[in-house]
Amino acid sequence: MCVAYPARVTALDPDGTATVLVRGRPQRVSLMVVAGEGIGPGDWLLVQSGIALARMDEAEAAARCRLIDQATGESS
C-alpha cells in the first residue's frame, strides 16, 4: 500500500525540488506538480514517492499525521 505523508518544507533547491521532513527524516521531493503555488520553507506538503502532490495547512497535516499514527501504531 502506498501512503502519502505530510511533510514540512525546510529548504527550496534551484532545480525544482525541495528538502522536506517526512516523519522527522529529511527527503528531497519534486515540486513539479505544485509548481506555481508559492511553496516556501515552513509550508506543509502531501508527499508520495518523492513527489509533492498538494499543499496543505498545518491543521490538515496534523490530522493526517494522527490518522497515520493510529493506523500504523507509530508516533510522528
Q: Which three cell numbers stand for residue 6?
A: 505530510
Task: Please say whether the beta carbons of 3 and 22 come within 8 A.
Answer: no
Task: Please say whether the beta carbons of 11 and 18 come within 8 A.
Answer: yes
Within 10 A of 50 (CB to CB), how many other CB atoms are there?
11
Q: What is the pTM of this model?
A: 0.87
pLDDT computed for residue 74 by the predictor = 76
pLDDT computed for residue 28 by the predictor = 97
The CATH fold of domain 5-72: SH3 type barrels. (2.30.30)
pLDDT one-digit tens code per residue, 27-44? 999 999 998 889 999 999
pLDDT one-digit tens code per residue, 37-71? 899 999 999 999 999 999 999 999 999 989 988 98
